[in-house]
Amino acid sequence: MNGHVGWGGLAIAVVVVLVAAGLSRAWRLGLERDLVVAIVRSLAQMLLVAVALGLVVADGVSIWWSWLWVVAMVGFASITMRRRAPALPGLLRIALIATGTTAAVGIAITFGIGIFPVQPRTLVPVAGMLVGNSMSAGVVACRRLSHAIGERRDEIEARLALGQPWPHAARPMLREILRTAISPQIESTKALGIVFLPGAMTGLILAGVDPLDAVLVQLALMYVILGGVVTMTTVTTVAAARRLFTRDHRLLPVPRQAD
C-alpha cells in the first residue's frame, strides 16, 4: 500500500457500484438512482472534506477550527435525524443535546485516557466516528419510532387504558426499536478481529506500532463508540417518545410518517 489511488483507481472502484446498479436494474429493485446519488454526493462531500480538512489540520492552524468542525458535525447529524423523522415533535433540540453530549463525553474519554493526543489531526476523525455512528443508529431509531407510534397506537392506548403510565405503555415498543437500531453496532463490536479489522488498528500497525498497543487503542475507541451510540440512541428515542405523551398519560395524535 502506497496511499495513492488516483482518479483511475477511483474510477475502477466506481465500476463495482455500477455493476451493483446494473443488477438492481435487471431485478427492477429501484436502487439505481439511490446508488448514483450516493456516489455523486459522497464524491462531492469527500472532495470538499479533503480540502477543508487539509486546511484545518495544516501546521500552525488553531485547534479551535477543529472544534468548530465538531460542532458543525453535531448540528448536521441532529438536522439529519430531524429530517428523517419530521413527525416527532421537538426532535431537533433533543438530538442536538444528545449528540452534543455524546460527542463531548466521548471526546473527553478518548483524549482523557490518552488513546490519542489532542490534535486537529485526531480530533476531527474521532468526533466523526462518534457522531457518525450515533447518527446512523439515531436515524434508524427515530424513523422506527415515527412508524411504530402509528402502527401500534391501539396497543399503546390499550395499555394506557389499563392504568399503565406512559413509560410502561411504550416500553415494549421502545425495546424493539432500540434493539433494532443498536444491534448493528453491537454485532460489529462482537465481530471485531474475526470478521473485520478496523481501520485505526490497521493504520497503526502499518505505521509500525506494536500490534498489542494498536489493539488496545482500537478496543478503547470501539468501546467509547459503542457506549456513545447506545446512550445517545436510547436517550434520544426515550426523550422523543416522551414528547408524544401528555403529562396525564395521553398519546397525542402523530401524523403518519411517509416511507
Q: Which is nearer to another protein, 33 or 175 (CB)?
A: 175
Q: Residue 208, interface with another protein (CB under 8 A)?
A: no
For residue 186, the tally of other CB atoms under 10 A from its CB is 13
DSSP tally for the chain: helices H, then strands E: 9, 0
- Subset of residues 133 to 162 that bind another protein, contact rule: CB under 8 A: 154-155, 157-162
Site size with another protein, rule: CB under 8 A = 17
Q: Residue 251, interface with another protein (CB under 8 A)?
A: yes
Min dist CB 148 to another protein, Å, is: 13
Rg (CA), the chain: 21
Q: Which of 24, 164, 189, 202 binds another protein (CB under 8 A)?
A: 164
In whole angstroms, how far apart are CA 146 and each of 78, 179, 237?
16, 16, 10
Q: Residue 177, interface with another protein (CB under 8 A)?
A: no
Span of 10-18, 78-86, 107-115, 244-252 interacting with another protein by CB under 8 A = 244-252
Secondary structure of residue 16 in the 3-state scheme: helix
Q: Which is nearer to another protein, 121 or 249 (CB)?
A: 249
Nearest CA among 59, 195, 77 for reference residue 129: 77
Q: Residue 45, interface with another protein (CB under 8 A)?
A: no
Alpha-carbon distance of 143 to 203, in angstroms, equals 35
Q: Which is nearer to another protein, 89 or 172 (CB)?
A: 172
In sequence order, the 6+-apart residues with CB closer than 8 A to the CB of 83 are none
Nearest CA among 80, 130, 78, 128 for reference residue 239: 78
Min dist CB 191 to another protein, Å, is: 29
Q: Which is nearer to another protein, 154 or 259 (CB)?
A: 154
Angle between helix axes 91-112 and 120-151 (nearest 10 degrees) is 140
Say if CB 110 and CB 224 are below 8 A apart.
Answer: yes
Q: Which of 6, 8, 163, 208 binds another protein (CB under 8 A)?
A: 163
Q: Which of 165, 193, 203, 211 binds another protein (CB under 8 A)?
A: 165
Q: Residue 205, interface with another protein (CB under 8 A)?
A: no
Rounded to a whole number of angstroms, the distance between the first and last alpha carbons of the chain is: 42
Q: Which of 62, 119, 180, 246 binds another protein (CB under 8 A)?
A: 246
Contact footprint for another protein (CB under 8 A):
154-155, 157-165, 172, 246, 248-251
